[in-house]
Homo-oligomer: A and B are copies of this chain.
Amino acid sequence: MTDAPDDHFHVFDTTLRDGAQREGINLTVADKLTIARHLDDFGVGFIEGGWPGANPRDTEFFRRARTEIDFKHAQLVAFGSTRRAGARAADDPQVRALLDSQAPVITLVAKSHDRHVELALRTTLEENLEMVRDTVSYLRAQGRQVFVDCEHFFDGYRGNPGYAKQVVCAAHEAGAAVVVLCDTNGGMLPAQVQAVAASVLAETGARLGIHAQDDTGCAVANTLAAVDAGATHVQCTANGYGERVGNANLFPVVAALELKYGKTVLPAGSLAEMTRISHAIAEVVNLTPSTHQPYVGVSAFAHKAGLHASAIKVDPDLYQHIDPERVGNTMRMLVSDMAGRASIELKGKELGIDIGDDRALVARVVKRVKERELAGYSYEAADASFELLLRAEAEGRARRYFRVESWRGIIETRPDGTHANEATVKLWAKGERIVATAEGNGPVNALDRALRVGLERIYPQLAGLELVDYKVRILEGRHGTESTTRVLVSTSDGGGEWSTVGVADNVIAASWEALEDAYTYGLLRAGVEPQE
């Protein structure tokens, strides 16, 4: 059940729909579900999940999201179009698909630029208004809340402000809860957005939203300019993902609203999760988080200038516009310092490992994490590997359930063009030497199977583990295939899921390392005593 936020201001996220238009992003249904969970955790009010009916992936997303996500804050939104010209909304299969998605809220895209109506939609201006009225009324009658995105609104307003406003009125009068002014081509500047939004609000009385694209580098400012003019609904995407340059970035928009405007637009405590959520979503879409993103980038509170460094000690507030902890980020001096003492202590507490006042232990862990991160490890998305590292330092030795003597993988093409993958592992466990060979549909899969074949007799708990996600990132990618590789593996035992990391000069060796950690952690979770 959704704990629907106060309706007075809408934080509306469209990462899964408009954000997915970004070049290089290609989301699976599982990716979309994961991102939706992160956005709901963060506390946005609305999550636009896609266009059900337009492609099977989005249809499946809505089907699964209904049952698989227990939304705490957000309402799910389906995106679609006004009905076709000359038909009835009630007979339009595209409109039907929106209802079938069972999303409680529907965003309808409507044309509001007269030339687009004539040239792209190829219908009359009057019929377009009727399409808006009919579709909104029909969906309202079916019990849905409706938002209307007025596409190309600002461009249309320039040439024909009267018609653009007629579209707003048509949507408003037919029962749309919010009419969203879209700068679809992204060419606007804040002063223009503010003037247009103020005029539309005064003349139509509709509740207004804003959807800004970043083509002038002003999407965040354009969003805030519309709020200054009275808009109470902002459409954004995580990390500003979106077509061309991108959309208004959710994170600086909500940070400005909360920290600069003093508005409450997120649940209490959410803002402090912002940096983590931003990085987690980047991980899912498989894009390196921008180091220079406002508020959440690792460089956002990094001070380099010697001029400043000496004075920062006197009073940090003189040199930073906000306390970085308010957005879950940290101030950094000079070189990389991802893992501060405080975060290690917090993490230990979170994991239930008492590191109390042992400052020497914390210092060792900080040092070890720094060394490892320098080599390419990333513990932000690999909690289980971090916990193993922390326990090894706290307990004086690493948990070991088995010792690997050697492993080998062979991949070759068969005459029919398919591939044969074979792996052999040689291990020691509970004093016994084990040699096991297995085949798989890839070299990592073959290694995974060989490891299980070898160990399952000794550790039957391994039979219940399943690898559920596998991600590869090539680091320092300007050296072609000679780069360093980082692999993240997610493993499940049915009751929970954990992530581990491996880094090596090649993907197979990195995968192997992540798999070793994954099984070690699985056995630890199962309460098995370490025993080589």
Instruction: Name A residues whose Cβ lies closer than 8 Å to a Cβ of B.
Output: 21-24, 26, 28, 30-31, 55, 113, 115-116, 119-120, 152, 155, 185-187, 189-191, 214-218, 220-222, 224-225, 228, 240, 243-246, 249, 252, 255-256, 260, 286, 288, 291-295, 297, 299-305, 310-311, 314-315, 318-322, 334, 337-338, 378, 380-381, 404, 406-415, 419, 421, 440-445, 448, 466-483, 485, 489, 491, 504-509, 511
Selected from B215, B255, B441, B483, the residue in CB contact (under 8 A) with A505 is B441
A443: B residues at CB distance < 8 A = 409, 411, 443, 506-508
- Asked whether, in the complex, the Cβ of B466 is within 8 Å of the Cβ of A480, the reply is yes
- Whether A225 pairs with B480 at a CB distance below 8 angstroms is no
Complex Cα–Cα for A246 and B249 (A):
16
Which B residues are CB-close (under 8 A) to A249? 217
Number of copies: 2
Cβ–Cβ < 8 Å partners of A155 in chain B:
318, 321
- 15 residue pairs of the A-B complex, CB under 8 angstroms, read A28-B478, A30-B477, A55-B337, A115-B318, A189-B256, A190-B224, A216-B252, A217-B295, A243-B305, A244-B303, A411-B443, A419-B508, A445-B482, A472-B474, A481-B489
* Chain B: minimal CB distance from A170 (Å): 21
A458 shortest CB reach to chain B, Å: 21
What separation, in Å, do the CA atoms of A187 and B187 have in the docked complex? 24
B190 & A225 in contact (Cβ 8 Å cutoff):
yes
- Measured CB to CB, the nearest residue on chain B to A507 is B507
A21, A300, A303: residue with the most chain B Cβ atoms closer than 10 Å: A21
Known: A23-B299, A187-B321. A411 touches B509 (CB 8 A): yes
Q: Which residues of B contact A471 (CB under 8 A)?
A: 474, 477
Given A411-B409, A481-B440: A302 touches B23 (CB 8 Å cut-off):
yes
A482 CA to B472 CA, complexed, in Å = 14
Known contacts A190-B190, A215-B300, A294-B216; decide if A477 and B469 are in contact (CB<8 Å): yes
Q: Give Cα distance in the complex from A116 to B319, angstroms.
A: 10
Q: Give the Cβ gap from A203 to chain B, nearest Cβ, in Å.
A: 22
B residues in contact with A216, CB < 8 Å:
220, 252, 255-256, 260, 294, 321
* In the complex, chain B residues whose CB is within 8 Å of the CB of A301: 244
Q: Considering the complex, give the chain B residue whose CB is closest to the CB of A492.
A: B480
Do A468 and B478 contact each other (CB < 8 Å), given the known contacts A120-B318, A216-B256, A321-B186? yes
Q: A221-B221, A299-B244, A507-B472 are in contact. Are A467 and B480 (CB under 8 A)?
A: yes
Shortest beta-carbon distance, A54 to chain B, in Å? Answer: 9
**B413 to A508, Cβ gap below 8 A?**
no
> Which of B21, B152, B480, B507 is within 8 Å of A318, CB to CB?
B152
Query: Contact between B470 and A477 (Cβ–Cβ < 8 Å)?
Result: yes
Residues of B within 8 A of A302 (CB): 23, 243-244
Smallest distance from the beta carbon of A510 to chain B beta carbons, Å? 9
Query: Would you call A311 and B120 a contact (CB within 8 A)?
Result: yes
Give CA–CA (A245, B163) in the complex, Å: 41
Inter-subunit contact A413/B407 (CB<8 Å):
yes
- Using Cβ atoms and an 8 Å threshold, which residues of chain B touch A217? 220-221, 249, 252, 294-295
Contact present for B380 and A23 (CB under 8 Å): yes
- Asked whether, in the complex, the Cβ of B476 is within 8 Å of the Cβ of A470, the reply is no
6 additional A-B residue pairs with CB within 8 Å, beyond A28-B475, A245-B294, A442-B507: A23-B304, A28-B477, A120-B310, A120-B311, A467-B481, A470-B480
